[in-house]
Amino acid sequence: MVQLIKNILGLGPKADFKELTKNGAQIIDVRTKGEFQGGHIKGSVNIPLQSLSDSLSRIRKDKPVITCCASGMRSASAKSILKSNGYAEVYNGGGWMSLQNKIS
């Protein structure tokens, strides 16, 4: 049960984010436009969580997707939305600053 909860929150087995990005993973930042403009990961795409469902055409299904936000809560929701829309390989990268450190 604990592992199930960890998986739902994106806290399951650790993903190698550096390797994923090296192999072409898309980083989707689901913070607001203003938050994104205040700083973001180079090459990431800003699609605010509230408009994610309407913007799925901007995200490729044939490449891994890493979601990020400020703390990891919105990115967990984004992961769920993407998984429920047929995206097979989706990872919750958590907060964008800590994710940036993991891929640098």
pLDDT tens digits along 12-27? 557 899 999 999 999 9
Concatenate the DSSP letters of all residues of 23-66 into one string. TT-EEEE-S-HHHHHT---TT-EE--GGGTGGGGGGS-SSS-EE
Distance (Å, whole) CA 67 – CA 55: 14
pLDDT score at 48: 98
Domain housing 44: 2-103
Determine phi and psi for 46, rounding to 5 degrees.
-90, 115
Give the total number of structural domains in the chain.
1
Q: Quote the pTM value.
A: 0.87
pLDDT surpassing 90 at residue 35: yes
Q: What is the CATH number of the domain that holds 73?
A: 3.40.250.10
pLDDT surpassing 90 at residue 8: no
pLDDT tens digits along 40-81? 999 999 999 999 999 999 999 999 999 999 999 999 999 999
pLDDT band of 1, cuts 50, 70, 90: low
Distance (Å, whole) CA 57 – CA 39: 24
